[in-house]
Amino acid sequence: MADSQSQNQRDLLMSMFEAAVATAHPLKCVPPHLPEVPQGGKIIIVGAGKAAAAMAQATEQHYIALGQGDRISGFVTTRHGFGLPTQIIEVIEAGHPVPDENSVETAKRAIRDAKSAGPNDLVLCLLSGGASALWSAPVEGVSFEAKQALTKQLLRSGARITEMNCVRKHLSRIKGGRLAAAAFPGRMITLAISDVPHDDTAAIGSGPTVGDHTTLAEAREVIKHYGIDASAEIIAALNNPANETPRPGAEALKSSAYTLVATPAASLKAAAKIASEHGYRIDILGDSLEGEARDVARFHAAMALDAKARREKVAILSGGELTVTIKGNGNGGPNQEYALALAVALDGTSEITALAGDTDGTDGGKGLADDPAGAIVLPETAAKARAANLNPAAFLDNNDSTGFFDAISDLIRCGPTQTNVNDVRILLISPE
C-alpha cells in the first residue's frame, strides 16, 4: 500500500474511533436526561467512573444555565489523572484498576450522602465504567489491603469483567444495589454510561443502584475456577450470608430509577456511519464480544482474509471487552494485544488495515492516565518490524504489545477521553 494510501487509511480509522468516542461524551449524552429539581427539595449528586468528571461538568452546567446551581450539591469519584475543573460538584480522584484509600473513603461518603436525602430531595447517581474500583468500601471483616490484593490477583488471572464484578459486589458495602438501598425510601435516579456486555445495568460499576442477579455461591466459584489464593478474611466474607446482595425487585430498590445515556452499540453505529460514507459494507459483529484477545484477533484475521479473497470492500467492527492472560513481563492491554496478534496473523497482508482502542483513552500499560488507548495495524507493520529487527511473535509471547507498537510508532495516544463505552475494534478490507 502506497504511503498516501496508508495515511488515508490511518486517518479513516482514527476518524471512526473518534466518532465512537464523541457519541458517548457526557457533554452530549447526559443533559437530555437530567431530571427537574424536585419541588421544595434539592438534588444530591454522587457518582463514580472514568467519565464521572465530565458527567459532573455536564450536570452542573445544565443546572447553572437554568439558574438552579444553588439547588444541587455533591461529588463524584474518577480515576487519577481524569479529573476536570468544576464549580459546584466536587471531583475526587482515586485508584483504578486497583483501589486506593480514596476509593474507600468516597464509597463511604456516597453512602452517607444517599442516606442524608430528605423526603423532598432526589439523589442523582452519575455512573460509568471504572466505578467498581473507584468505589471500594469492603464489607465488615475485610481489610482494604486484602481486597486490594484480591483485585490484583483477579486482574492477572484472565477472569472476565463480569466475573470480577461478581466477586467485588459481595465484598462491598456499596455495590450490588447497596447504594440505592441506602437512599431508600428516598428517590434515586441513575444516569449511566454503559461499558459492559449487553448493557447489563447490574454490571456497570458493579451495579450499586440495581438489584444483583449473582450470588455468594457464584463469587466463591470464580475464586475456585481461577485458582485465586484468597486470604482467610476474603473466604470468610464470601461464606457469610449477611454479605448477600439485594435481589432485583427488593423493597429497598423500589424508589430507584435507571437510564442508560450512552452505549457501546451507539458508538459502533457512529463509527460505522463514517465507513459507510466511504463505500464500505458494514459488518458489526456485536458490541459485547468477550474472550482472550489473541484468540479473537486470529478469528478476525481469518474473516478479513476471507473478505479480501472475495474482493469485498467491507468494514468489520466489534465492541466488548477482551481479556489477557498474563504470562510475560511486558506492558500492554487487551486492545494492544489484540492488535499485535492481528499483525502476527496478517503478516503484512495488503489491503487490510485495523485499529483497536479503548474509548476511555487508556488500554493498559503502567496504570497511568497517559497509557496508550490502543494500536493501529497496517500492511507495512510487518516490514517496519523487520526493519527494526523486531519479532512480533516474541513480543506477543511476552505480553509486550506496548513495547512493540511504540517501537514502530503505531500506538494510539489520546489521553483520557472522559467517557467509557468499552473497546472499539475496526478492520477495513479495501480491495484496490
Distance CA 170, CA 216 (A): 6
How far, in Å, CA of 428 to CA of 378, rounded?
Answer: 10
Is a pLDDT exceeding 90 seen at residue 186?
A: yes
**Predicted pLDDT of residue 3:** 76
Name the band, by pLDDT with cuts 50, 70 and 90, for residue 432: confident
What is the average pLDDT across 373-397? 97
Model pLDDT, residue 61: 98
The CA distance from 340 to 345, in Å, is 9
Percent of the chain surpassing pLDDT 90: 90
Structural domains in the chain, sorted by start = 3-23+265-429 (3.40.1480.10), 26-137+172-211+246-262 (3.40.50.10180)
Q: What is the mean pLDDT of residues 129-148?
A: 92
Q: Does the pLDDT at position 220 exceed 90?
A: yes
Task: Name the average pLDDT for the chain.
Answer: 95
Residues 327-364 pLDDT 10s: 999 999 999 999 999 999 999 999 999 999 999 999 98
pLDDT at residue 29 in the model: 97
pLDDT score, position 2: 57
Measured between alpha carbons, how far is residue 59 from residues 52, 113, 257, 361 in Å?
10, 18, 17, 22
**Residue-level pLDDT at 229:** 94
pLDDT of residue 32: 97
Element (H, E) at 153: helix 144-157
Q: How many CB atoms lie within 10 A of CB 70?
A: 11
Sign of CA dihedral 301, 307, 308, 314: negative
pLDDT higher than 60, residue 1: no
How high is the pLDDT of residue 351? Answer: 97
Mean pLDDT of 131-152: 92
The arithmetic mean of pLDDT across residues 145-153, rounded, is: 90
Q: Mapping DSSP to helix (H, G, I), strand (E, B) and coil, where does residue 104 land? A: helix
Query: Would you place residue 155 in the very low, low, confident or very high pLDDT band (cuts 50, 70, 90)?
Result: confident
pLDDT in tens, 261-290: 999 999 999 999 999 999 999 999 999 999
Residues 366 and 364: their CA atoms lie apart, in Å, by 7
pLDDT tens digits, residue range 309-330? 999 999 999 999 899 999 999 9
